[in-house]
């Protein structure tokens, strides 16, 4: 039951979490980076916070997290019925739209087509999704970025490795772009050490794949965690983030991987997704001639990386992003 006079928010998220600590350590980025931060921020300001797949009582606010593809037919129908009921008793529905779920090949498309008209307010992590949503819904749409999960590490002017050490980290859904980059953009004279951090299932699939690249590569694979990412970054010369800005599955990706790479103090080369474009002065476009020059001397990017840490990174701290969530979700209070 909600305490009289105390505001209540429910985070509608998939899975079972017993406490706030479990939210913060979730292996789902949408929960770890977004739901857990909302939980922490709202509790700190006196709100009652509940989370899970069942909406209890009559919360002032329901924040709909990423539903996920598992059991989507049953879960989707259940969530929709609950959202309709919650709105009928006065709850304000905020929907967090973390990926382009409206694309035709998304198993979550039907849920979002039904959920968006129920929402009183939508949130997106980047401008691409914000603009996409604005053309589909009649309610307000706000942008709240993903926060950094790490502190900022100073750019160090160490001698670069021989061979050059490239670093890639990310979700398994991004591995095909890495493979395409290795197979299509590298040339015979390239000789690199490559460190790849990802989830164990995706790493197993990558190990079984016969890579067809012209380059000489020494590849080291590891399971991603915050600690393993920080440790790997310390031995790297350059972080690479291959993607495809024309692919509707990835065009709406947030800036989080790029911001994280810069916070790690790493020179960074990336395909310029829409959410990356405002940071173009601080990174190298993987498709540009500058990328080849960067491979010869990644240190040329050190000044720009340090500048990015000063100019950009402070916008993405949990404190700054948390205040944005609080301001947005408190509108109805």
Give the pLDDT confidence of 191-201 residue by residue, as tens digits: 999 999 999 99
Tokens of 299: 């240190």
DSSP letters, 1-64, are -PPTT--EEEEE-SS---SHHHHHT-S-HHIIIIIHHHHHHHHHTT-EEEEESS--S--SEEEE
- How far apart are alpha carbons 14 and 35 in whole angstroms? 11
Split at pLDDT 50, 70, 90, the class of 244 is: very high
pLDDT digits (tens, 9 = 90+) for 82-137: 999 999 999 999 999 999 988 878 899 999 999 999 999 999 999 999 999 999 99
Q: Can 8-147+317-332 and 164-315 be said to share one CATH topology?
A: yes
Pairing mode, strands 121-124 and 92-96:
parallel
- Please say if the pLDDT value at position 12 is more than 80: yes
Tokens of 253: 């990706």
- Please say if the pLDDT value at position 73 is more than 60: yes
Q: Give the 3-state secondary structure of 65-109.
A: CCCCCCCHHHHHHHHHHHHHHHHHCCCEEEEECCCCCCCCCCCCH
pLDDT digits (tens, 9 = 90+) for 25-58: 998 889 999 999 999 999 999 999 999 999 999 9
Question: Can you say how many angstroms the Cα of residue 191 is from the centroid of all Cα atoms in its chain?
Answer: 30
Split at pLDDT 50, 70, 90, the class of 162 is: confident
CATH code reported for the domain at 8-147+317-332: 3.40.50.2000
Task: Give the model's pLDDT for residue 156.
Answer: 87
- How far apart are alpha carbons 77 and 79 in whole angstroms? 6
- Please say if the pLDDT value at position 269 is more than 90: yes
Task: Give the model's pLDDT for residue 5.
Answer: 65
Task: Give the model's pLDDT for residue 2.
Answer: 41
- Please say if the pLDDT value at position 190 is more than 70: yes
Closest CA to 107 of 64, 71, 135: 71
- Please say if the pLDDT value at position 138 is more than 50: yes
Which sign does the torsion angle of CA 116, 121, 126, 127 carry? positive
Task: Give the model's pLDDT for residue 332.
Answer: 61
| Extents of the domains making up the chain | 8-147+317-332, 164-315
Tokens of 302: 């050190």
Above pLDDT 70, what percent of the chain? 98
Split at pLDDT 50, 70, 90, the class of 158 is: confident
Q: pTM score, two decimals?
A: 0.92
Split at pLDDT 50, 70, 90, the class of 250 is: confident
Does the structural domain 164-315 have CATH classification 3.30.43.10? no
Mean pLDDT value of segment 229-255: 93
Split at pLDDT 50, 70, 90, the class of 1 is: very low
Mean pLDDT of the chain: 94
Task: Give the model's pLDDT for residue 262.
Answer: 98
Task: Give the model's pLDDT for residue 142.
Answer: 97
What is the b/e burial string over 102-133, where b = at least 16 CB atoms within 10 angstroms of the residue's CB?
A: beeebebeebbeebbebbbbbbbbbbbbbebb
> Which residues, in sequence order, are CB contacts of 82 under 8 Å at separation 6+?
12, 54, 55
Q: In whole angstroms, how large is the CA radius of gyration of the chain?
A: 21
- Please say if the pLDDT value at position 272 is more than 50: yes
- Please say if the pLDDT value at position 3 is more than 50: no
Above pLDDT 90, what percent of the chain? 89
Mean pLDDT value of segment 301-316: 97
């Amino acid at each position: 039951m909600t305490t009289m006079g105390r505001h209540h928010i429910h985070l509608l998220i998939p899975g079972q979490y017993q406490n706030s600590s479990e939210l913060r350590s979730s292996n789902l980025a949408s929960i770890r980076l977004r739901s857990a931060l909302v939980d922490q921020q709202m509790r700190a300001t006196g709100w009652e916070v509940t989370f899970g797949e069942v909406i209890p009582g009559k919360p002032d606010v329901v924040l709909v997290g990423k539903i996920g593809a598992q059991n989507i037919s049953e879960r989707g129908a259940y969530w929709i019925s609950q959202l309709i009921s919650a709105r009928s008793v006065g709850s304000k529905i905020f929907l967090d739209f973390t990926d382009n779920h409206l694309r035709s090949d998304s198993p979550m498309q039907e849920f979002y087509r039904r959920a968006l008209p129920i929402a009183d307010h939508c949130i997106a992590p980047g401008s691409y999704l914000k603009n996409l949503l604005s053309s589909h819904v009649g309610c307000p749409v706000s942008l709240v970025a993903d926060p950094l999960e790490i502190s900022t590490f100073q750019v160090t002017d160490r001698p670069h490795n021989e061979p050059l050490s490239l670093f890639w980290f990310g979700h398994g859904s991004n591995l095909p772009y890495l493979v395409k980059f290795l197979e299509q953009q590298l040339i015979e004279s390239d000789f690199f050490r490559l460190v790849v951090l990802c989830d164990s299932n995706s790493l197993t699939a990558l190990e079984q794949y016969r890579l067809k690249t012209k380059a000489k590569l020494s590849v080291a694979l590891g399971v991603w965690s915050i600690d393993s990412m920080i440790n790997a970054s310390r031995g790297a010369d350059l972080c690479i983030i291959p993607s495809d800005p024309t692919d509707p599955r990835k065009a709406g990706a947030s800036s989080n991987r790029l911001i994280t790479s810069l916070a790690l103090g790493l020179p960074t080369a990336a395909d310029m997704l829409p959410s990356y474009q405002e940071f173009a002065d601080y990174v190298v476009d993987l498709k540009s001639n500058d990328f080849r020059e960067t491979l010869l001397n990644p240190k040329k990017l050190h000044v720009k990386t340090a500048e990015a840490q000063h100019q950009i990174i402070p916008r993405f701290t949990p404190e700054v992003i948390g205040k944005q969530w609080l301001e947005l979700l408190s509108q109805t209070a």
